[in-house]
Structure 1
Amino acid sequence: MIKQITSAANPLIKQIRALERKRTRSETGLFVAEGARLVLEAEAAAVQPETLLFTAEARQRQAVTALVERFDRSGVQCIETSERLLSQITRRENTQNVVAVYRQRRQSLRALDATSHRLWVALEEVRDPGNLGTILRTADSVGAGGVILLGRCCDPFSFECVRASMGSIFAVALAEAELSELQTWSQAAGGAIIGTSLRARGRHDALPSQSGPRIVMMGNEQAGLSAEAEAACDHLVRIPMRGQADSLNLAVATAVMLYSLWGAEGYPGARP
């Protein structure tokens, strides 16, 4: 049954607004995604929201009407509300007129089969949610198996990260692990951990062929990989630079690495 809520004092609206805070997201295991496009992408990945909020104007679009009807039939809590309340939830003036609340999906590293994909991404101490979201999107684009977070990383379910992922938050597996776990996991699958470092001599596009999975490990935006992480790598490489810039943005560098490795195999599985 579709409900209508127009008051900011409504308990449900208060609960959803509180998901802006990391502590509330951690306690509830929930997060917010904005926009009909992201909701449709989640549905395509067989992920349904717990709550769907939308404006009367949004329901004038046929795609949104059909979406609301499908979710209502399947038991999703569907709420018609105002643009003002959606703006309060998302903290944006020009907010999307469809917002959904989802349950977070995290996996243990042991639950992921390293041999199921040729490429994986591991991130050590990544702090910028925009970078993390963009890396999720890139990992999705190359068909990587998942993104593994090492150490104290930013929250992948923050508003900023979910926005930057453009829906890939629903398509890419997410795991958290210790560096030692990653090493054991990679070795058991006959894999290779590939890291980038300014101290490396070999180029990123001159790696030896590898039959097992490749885990691209990238470091913190400011400090790069820690000494421990570099020591855990099977290969350390550097991306050549020519101009005055001394480094690439983390998300850009990760994309360079992933596309280089995928391209070295002829882009298998690429869409025509």
Structure 2
Amino acid sequence: MNDPVGGGSSGFAQQPVSVWRSLAGTAVLLDGFHALKHALRFGAEVPVAVTADREAALALADELAPDVRQALAALLTEVPETTYASLVPRPHPTAVAALAVRPSREGNLRALARTPRGAPVVVLDQPRNLGNAGAVIRLAAGFGATGVVTTGTLDPWHPTVVRGGAGLHFATAVERLDVGELPPGPLFALDPEGEDIRGLKLPDDALLAFGSERSGLSAAVRARADHLVALPMRPQVSSYNLATSVAMTLYHWSATGGAAS
């Protein structure tokens, strides 16, 4: 039987669908149970959430996220599967979706600029792949990084990036900036010609910059860099995946004194 909180009949569903359609142009799409779960854990404002199977979604909460089960029960409205499918670009296997209010740019910029910082800021220099950007945001949140900044044209709040980040945009500060607007702090740029990272201790207030998947660091970021840093790599292997490079670098930071909170 459906949980009584939130309702599941078509009559109850009408208002959430209307709210959804009124907010869809400006709100952040949380695509799937895990994205909604993470957003709620980190304080996102979620005005509407729908599911094609409320009972299954709440069973997932009982199993995987009892800490947000009550919030999910209050939010989730069951809608017909065809209605759910009409609200999202592609249905998620968990048949859950929600819309969240994007954090204010001003608040994110204050968090990024605050000094002293207890954790680095990850800088993605002109990234191209939306999925990679999402994976990096997920990593940064897991390690407790202060934030993720992108330069160039990629929107770090694009729905595909948010999907790849599993809703963890709300656990760290995510913004797009020009190179001249980067937060203060020593910039360590990852480059094959740099100093071996294994001989370095990355400071908590570092900016950790990673070039694009195709062309590497831009001239502007290279000129701004205080240090060029190289990851260990077997000869004749040309590169690592962007998210892998970020994971290795954040792990090195954490293993040499930094720590996730």
Query: TM-score, with normalisation over the residues of structure 1?
Result: 0.77
Selected match of 2:259 from 233, 244, 268 = 268
SS of residue matched to 2:189 = strand
One-letter amino acid of the structure 2 residue matched with residue 264 of structure 1 = T
Cα distance per residue 1:105-156 (max 9 Å; x no partner): 2534641214232211111111211111110111111110111122222x22
Q: Which residue of 2 aligns with 1:241?
A: 233
SS of residue matched to 1:4 = helix
Segment drifting more, 168-177 vs 137-146? 168-177
Alignment of 1:205-224 (within 5 A): 205-207=198-200, 210=203, 213-224=205-216
SS of residue matched to 1:121 = strand
Q: Structure 1 residues 167 and 31, CA, compared in 2 at 3 Å: closer, same or farther?
A: closer
SS of residue matched to 2:105 = coil
**Counterparts of 1:175 and 1:166, CA distance in 2:** 17
2:192 matched to 1:195? no
Q: Which residue of 1 aligns with 2:37?
A: 40
Q: Which residue of 2 aligns with 1:226?
A: 218
Report the CA distance between 1:269 and its aligned residue.
Answer: 4.7
One-letter amino acid of the structure 2 residue matched with residue 111 of structure 1 = R
Report the CA distance between 1:208 and its aligned residue.
Answer: 5.1
One-letter amino acid of the structure 2 residue matched with residue 268 of structure 1 = A
Q: Which residue of 2 aligns with 1:122?
A: 123
Segment drifting more, 62-71 vs 78-87? 62-71
Selected match of 1:4 from 13, 19, 23 = 13
User: Percent sequence identity over matched residues?
Assistant: 23
Alignment of 1:163-182 (within 5 A): 163-182=163-182
Segment drifting more, 87-96 vs 222-231? 87-96
One-letter amino acid of the structure 2 residue matched with residue 192 of structure 1 = P
One-letter amino acid of the structure 1 residue matched with residue 142 of structure 2 = S
**Counterparts of 1:94 and 1:101, CA distance in 2:** 14
**Counterparts of 2:240 and 2:72, CA distance in 1:** 42
Q: Structure 1 residues 94 and 174, CA, compared in 2 at 3 Å: closer, same or farther?
A: closer
**Counterparts of 1:145 and 1:227, CA distance in 2:** 25
Q: Which residue of 2 aligns with 1:111?
A: 110
Report the CA distance between 1:180 and its aligned residue.
Answer: 1.7
Q: Structure 1 residues 256 and 105, CA, compared in 2 at 3 Å: closer, same or farther?
A: same
Count of residues paired in the alignment: 240
Give yes or no for contact 1:205–1:261 (8 Å, CA) kept in 2: no
Query: TM-score, with normalisation over the residues of structure 2?
Result: 0.80
Q: Structure 1 residues 122 and 80, CA, compared in 2 at 3 Å: closer, same or farther?
A: same
Q: Please give the root-mean-square deviation of Cα atoms over the aligned residues, in Å.
A: 2.8
Give yes or no for contact 1:105–1:174 (8 Å, CA) kept in 2: no
Selected match of 2:54 from 52, 58, 77 = 58
One-letter amino acid of the structure 2 residue matched with residue 58 of structure 1 = R
Q: Which residue of 1 aligns with 2:245?
A: 253
Give yes or no for contact 1:120–1:214 (8 Å, CA) kept in 2: yes
Q: Structure 1 residues 164 and 229, CA, compared in 2 at 3 Å: closer, same or farther?
A: same
**Counterparts of 1:94 and 1:208, CA distance in 2:** 41
Give yes or no for contact 1:34–1:96 (8 Å, CA) kept in 2: no
Q: Structure 1 stretches of 5 or more lacking a match?
A: 72-77
Q: Structure 1 residues 106 and 235, CA, compared in 2 at 3 Å: closer, same or farther?
A: farther
SS of residue matched to 1:147 = strand
Report the CA distance between 1:243 and its aligned residue.
Answer: 5.1
Q: Which residue of 1 aligns with 2:89?
A: 91
**Counterparts of 1:104 and 1:54, CA distance in 2:** 21
